[in-house]
Amino acid sequence: MAIKEFKTESKRLLDMMANSIYTNTDIFLRELISNASDALDKRHILSLTDPEISFDEPKIRIDIDKKERLITISDNGIGMDRKELEDNLGTIARSGSFEFKQELDEKSEADIIGQFGVGFYSAFMVADRVEVISRKIKEEKASKWTSDMNGYEISSAAKDDYGTTITLHIKKNTKEKKYDKYLENNEIQSLVKKYSDFIRYPIEMLVESYDYKEDGKSEKVIKPQVVNSMQPIWKKNKKEISAEDYDNYYMQEYYDFVKPLKTIHYKVEGNTSYTALLYIPGQRPFNYYTNDYKLGLKLYSRGVFIKDEAKEIVSDYFRFIRGVVDSDDLSLNISREILQQDHQMNVLKKSVDKKIKSTLQNMLEKQREDYEKFFDNFGSQLKYGCYDGFGANKDVLIDLLMFKSSKEDKYVTLKEYVANMKEDQNEIYYAAGESVEKIRQLPQMEKVLDKGYEVLYFTDTVDEFLTSIIMEYDGKAFKSILKGDLDLDSKEEKEELEKKNEESKDLISKIKDVLKDKVSDVRLSSRLKTYPVCLVSSNELSIEMEKILKQMNQEGVKADKIMEINPDHELFTALKKMADEGKDISEYASLLYDQAALMAGLELEDPSAYALKVSELMLKALNNK
């Protein structure tokens, strides 16, 4: 029989397992029991639609052979055929979390093993040899997978029932680690209690007890006994559950080493009845905004598992939510496909959505700090939710949105913004940019802030696109301070500007001529204070949107750019003088544009030419001194 090699990633993980002397090795049992429980779930689901598959006495059994140093975990679940043994146990299944581990492993490899579910391979934390005998449901033959970690072998085997039996050859004690304890009945029992109590299937062990006879004498007997309470945590009374229990359940279930930010355990009775235990994660899953992310919401019906990733019962914009919804009403006899269209599912979804929304709203009002943490992690999700479907859900979500603002560089909601608007202010001002820092440095910011207006910082890709969908809030339109005409001036100021524009007609048209390929217009404006120029766009597409679209490979889409000049800046006065004297200003016009483009975060077409021109000017200035 040939010994096969593990795949490279599996080898690495196995190495980590074998050397995990500082880690909590106890968790191997939880992992194997959890696999057994999953296998029973799968058998159950199949039995619903296939009359040939029975599901009579589901159970998990643990046996200890102290003398031979063996511990055996058996289940009568779905089982695995030869190919599945090879595929499932020859490679590491949970590649997502493994990548994550790779990123982190220099920091605290040992910790991570303990906190992530590492699945089947965790057996090698306590065993130097593992045998798996499995017979897949409806199959005649069984197969055996054996490994001492250096490689594995697969052969035929005999097994009476469907299911899987895993035998661990427990390691000998070392100086650092005592493995003998895993051969103690009491120890294993308490580990089951600690980590797997809520498993819904009976976990049986042989336990010593006393039989009392009629004559009053007792006799020591060894009998199989169920050692877990089988009650899932969400079915327990809230009073019986500590904050730690809630956190532990979450962390084990989702392989998260950060505690949940919020736990929502509730019961609904009436039209549709269900119990839910929902969590808002304390950190954003590393793959959250990718296609690899899977919704962590499970659907149960009266304590019986129905499905993972239950998209049917929560809106996509709340897909960060994790946990369990256990319905009292769903009928289990219908296949899962039919279930999806079920009216009851919609009712459930509405109710779950509503609960999440009210929880978030409540956090926003009463636990602002937590809400901001939540928003840092998942705020973009809510914005996308607002944007999707042309704003179909904006009414649900709009009041949950927050933006950083110029007022205190803190988050504000739109409601707060509007309440804080100046009397003469009719629009909601915003500026879009890559970061708060960059926006703060924009030349256009000064004047608006001087006038005492608050500006929302739009730093998320979706932010400005969102305004094209939601348009306004509380009757106030969104207005970019980097677009079109800001209309901040009084009548007199406007007339004054008009006059200046008129007086500088020639100069402006010369500049326009030089820049005709780059901007659609050049004008004097009152938007600026310290800086001589800036770029703005017309009211359609903004420069920031152009950049984002470019990143999305939509190069063709361009903002309509306008260069605005500060008529009160000395540079303008000097330039005007030059032009009036009939001198050529074209070089300076280009330099002005380059400055404006740089400040707008655009790339220069010819940065070297720009540098050369600046050097020339520096030389002139230095030599004139």
Site for ligand ADP, rule CB under 6 A: 35-36, 39, 75, 77-80, 88, 93-94, 119-120, 164
203-212 and 60-65 strand pairing: parallel
**Of 93 and 183, which has the nearer Cβ to ligand ADP?**
93
Least distance (Å) between residue 185 CB and ligand ADP: 22
Distance from C-alpha of 511 to C-alpha of 462, rounded to nearest angstrom = 35
Q: Exposed, middle or buried by CB within 10 Å (0-12, 13-18, 19+), for 423?
A: exposed
- What's the closest the beta carbon of residue 473 comes to ligand ADP, in angstroms? 45
Least Å distance, CB 72 to ligand ADP, is 12
Instruction: CB nearer to ligand ADP: give 81 or 496.
Output: 81
b/e code 451-474 from CB counts within 10 Å (16+ = b)? eebbbbbbbbbbbbbbbeebeebe
Helix (H) or strand (E) holding 470: helix 461-470
Nearer to ligand ADP, 95 or 615 (CB): 95
Pick the closer one to ligand ADP by CB: 32 or 448: 32
Contacts of 275 (CB under 8 A, 6+ apart): 234, 235, 266, 267, 268, 325, 326, 328
* Nearer to ligand ADP among residue 123 and residue 297 (C-beta): 123
Tokens of 65: 């052979």
**Which residue number, 164 or 359, has a Cβ lying nearer to ligand ADP?**
164
Nearer to ligand ADP, 142 or 345 (CB): 142
Residue 82 and residue 143 in contact, taking contact as beta carbons nearer than 8 Å: yes
Residues 6 or more apart whose Cβ sits within 8 Å of residue 396: 317, 353, 357, 385
Find the residue with minimal CB distance to ligand ADP. 119
d(CA 63, CA 206): 7
Structure tokens, 558: 């361009």
CA 582 to chain centre: 62
Which residue's CB is nearer to ligand ADP, number 80 or number 168? 80
Residue 591's closest CA among 607, 568, 574, 573? 607
Nearer to ligand ADP, 37 or 444 (CB): 37
- Least separation in angstroms between residue 60's CB and ligand ADP is 9
Tokens representing residue 499 in the block? 């006059």
- DSSP 8-state code for residue 293: -
Q: Which residues contact 481 (CB under 8 A, 6 or more apart)?
A: 429, 430, 431, 444, 445, 448, 455
